[in-house]
Amino acid sequence: MLPFLCGVLGATIVIGSTITIPSLKQTIIKKLVTVPADTVSNEGEKNNSTNNLNTVAVSLQGYSDTSVGVAAKVQPSIVAISVEYSVNSIFSRNPQTATAKGSGIIISEDGYILTNNHVVTSSSSSSFYEIEEANKVTVKLYNDSNEYEAKIIGTDSQTDLAVIKIEKDGLTAAELGDSDAVQVGEFAMAIGSPLGLDNSVTAGIISAVNREVTDNDGNKYNTIQTDAAINAGNSGGALVNSKGQVIGVNTLKLSGDDVEGVGFAIPINSTKNIYEQLIEYSKVKRPYIGIGGRDLDEENAKRYNLVVGVYVYSVDEFSAAEKAGLKVGDVIIKADGTKITTIDELNEIKNKKQIGDTIKLVINRNGSEKEISVTLQEQP
């Protein structure tokens, strides 16, 4: 953060020192911020040039005040989470205890907290050890030295989200923003407990929106990318905008010798339906076809004398697919009238539907096309 501030301060000093040289000052400041093309000029005429630039300098004090205000507003809504696991190892007869740390966002005054699934559920294991389910989850509130034991309400590995709850009322619930309105370049602050340093804040900008990333387990997420520093322990914490509204749940970061400032957050709009279901059902109810599918590209389709699409290599017993008449060897080429070539495309269409809805599939079976209607079941 210090180099960034020094850079900003240095730029401010340069601009200030050239204030008596109008042409130079104008040139520097014009490179700072662009404005919409329909901005009205001083003469009252609308300028339709997309190259028009704003000449309003940004105050460093204003930036600082924004950061201070956002931190003060949001910190009371962010918690530090500690998790204890029992570890069975071939090197010890007795189970050992392992701990993990993360962050969470208070979403209700009566103690419900949104976090990441990987914060409270460990999938780490090997031939030498096995980690069991969490046997204790504790929460620390902002400016509160007490620890509160939490109950895991529900988890969802597909979205990497979870809800836990502590028995305490009068908490400060975070204000949720509109992640669909987030723009590249706008202010962003990450708040959480990186490396066990509770109530830490880092600031930057939104680097990208709708960024698809894949984690180590192969799960794909549509995320907001930011250069605000995100480290181990930030997971489950908040990414917030300049209004102090939560726009994302900090989840992933890239790391390595050549990587700096590349972190990702799950957009808050996409979490609402998930955490509501986790609170109500302790799980997420999803529509289910009941097949095992494999992407079939042009090369493999030609090799096996098939067509491009999703090859059905298994059909679950008593599933919606079996009831509808899908068979092993079918190639799904359309879903609800849309051509598909991958299982991800099929799932994207399916996941927009509700349990009990119908999805119309066009399949190729032995060289002939056939339409099959599948009534979606609840995923077991």
Q: What is the CA radius of gyration of the chain?
A: 26
Residue 357 is a catalytic residue: no
Of 118, 179, 200, 330, the catalytic one is 118
Q: Could you tell me if residue 310 is inside a domain?
A: yes
Residue 127 is a catalytic residue: no
Alpha-carbon gap, residue 111 to 98, rounded angstroms: 26
CATH number of domain containing 132: 2.40.10.10
Helix (H, G, I), strand (E, B) or coil at 13: helix
Number of domains in the chain: 4
Q: Are residues 191 and 275 in the same domain?
A: yes
Of 179, 193, 235, 319, the catalytic one is 235
The domain in which residue 373 lies consists of 287-378
Please report the pLDDT score of residue 122 as a whole number: 73
CA distance to 221, 299, 368, per residue, from 309 (Å): 23, 12, 14
Q: Average of pLDDT values for 113-121?
A: 94
> For 199, left (φ over 0), alpha (ψ -120 to 50), or beta?
left
What's the pLDDT tens digit per position in 161-220?
999 999 999 999 999 999 999 999 999 999 999 998 999 999 999 999 999 998 877 788
pTM greater than the 0.85 cutoff: no
Residue among 241, 205, 219 at smallest CA distance from 347: 219
Where among 214, 248, 279 does a domain terminate?
Answer: 279
What's the pLDDT tens digit per position in 33-73?
433 444 444 444 444 444 555 656 667 888 889 999 999 99
Alpha-carbon gap, residue 285 to 345, rounded angstroms: 20
Geometric angle at alpha carbon 257, from 252 and 259, rounded to 5°: 45
Q: Could you tell me if residue 69 is inside a domain?
A: no
Q: Are residues 264 and 307 in the same domain?
A: no
Please report the pLDDT score of residue 208 as a whole number: 97
Q: Are residues 305 and 349 in the same domain?
A: yes
Please report the pLDDT score of residue 372 as a whole number: 96
Q: Are residues 274 and 291 in the same domain?
A: no
Q: Are residues 357 and 313 in the same domain?
A: yes
Q: Are residues 311 and 236 in the same domain?
A: no
Of 77, 103, 156, 160, the catalytic one is 160
Residue 118 is a catalytic residue: yes
Q: Average of pLDDT values for 323-334?
A: 96
Q: Are residues 196 and 273 in the same domain?
A: yes
pLDDT above 90 covers what percent of the chain?
Answer: 69
Tokens found for residue 189: 């602050």
Alpha-carbon gap, residue 264 to 160, rounded angstroms: 13
Please report the pLDDT score of residue 336 as a whole number: 96
